[in-house]
Amino acid sequence: MSEELEGKVAIVTGGSRGIGKAIALQLGHDGAVVVVGARTEEGTEDKPGSIGETATAIEESGGKALPVKVDVTVDSDLEALVEKTMSEFGRIDILVNNAGALGGQPKFLESEPDELDFFYRTNLRAPYVLAKIVGVNMAEQGHGVIFNISSGLARLPDPPGSPGAAQPRFGGPSTVYGMTKAALNRFAAGVAAELQEKNIAIININPGFTLTERLARIMQGADTSRMERPETTAKAVAFLARDPMPYTGQMITARELADEKNL
């Protein structure tokens, strides 16, 4: 265990598995107290891991953690998450908006508007609302950093027929996934100047195509050597949390930062 983030208090949503779990473990390793937020209190074969397991792993490595059940699409849950953190620790220095929805109907003409509503509430509205609630507390204490886990799919694809255009495929995430992640990037860029005046940084992270537990099961037997690992994003977040303001308002690709800083 290191002490680079000693005394800091972090909230990580979606911390029961995948990238969120890796971030929570890394922040805990670096000395931060970690509030692990997610819906899963008991893991299953399809969805291994839980908030309790992540918190226990942090504590077994010498850190301190608090598991809190939260559904990020429910405003009262977000408010309760912040209230619990402030009641227990009196401050919030780091917020990682990691929880999100992936998948969906890849064929637009076969999709339903309800899907757009779900992705909007999970991938955009939830980070927006939680960032606002936490941001008020950060402004009062005079500092803080907010991370949003975005995606390379937020970028505009090349038009059909252009040299760089991808071939049509219907097995990946839906268009609304990329739409909400693009909006998340615009959100961070749009509020960065206002938050900077309060000494609060806001940074979006592109983790790349990452081999999570879910994908590992789906891709059994396939070559995954070129896929990113959750630990790469975790190391990038922990590094940026030490001195975040030079990166505020930016979209940072985890692999590029890891290579540049030899993380």
Kindly tell me the sign of the dihedral angle through the C-alpha atoms of 180, 40, 74, 78: negative
64-69: strand order across its sheet: 64-69, 33-38, 9-13, 94-97, 144-149, 200-206, 251-253
Sequence-distant (6+) residues with CB within 8 A of 90 are none
Residues with catalytic function: 177
181 close to 123: Cβ distance less than 8 angstroms? yes
CA distance 87 to 83: 6
- The secondary structure element, H or E, covering residue 67 is strand 64-69
31 close to 3: Cβ distance less than 8 angstroms? yes
| CA 36 from centre of chain | 12
DSSP 102-144: ----S-GGG--HHHHHHHHIIIIIHHHHHHHHHHHHHHHHT-E
Question: SS3 of 74, please?
Answer: coil
236 close to 252: Cβ distance less than 8 angstroms? yes
34 close to 12: Cβ distance less than 8 angstroms? yes
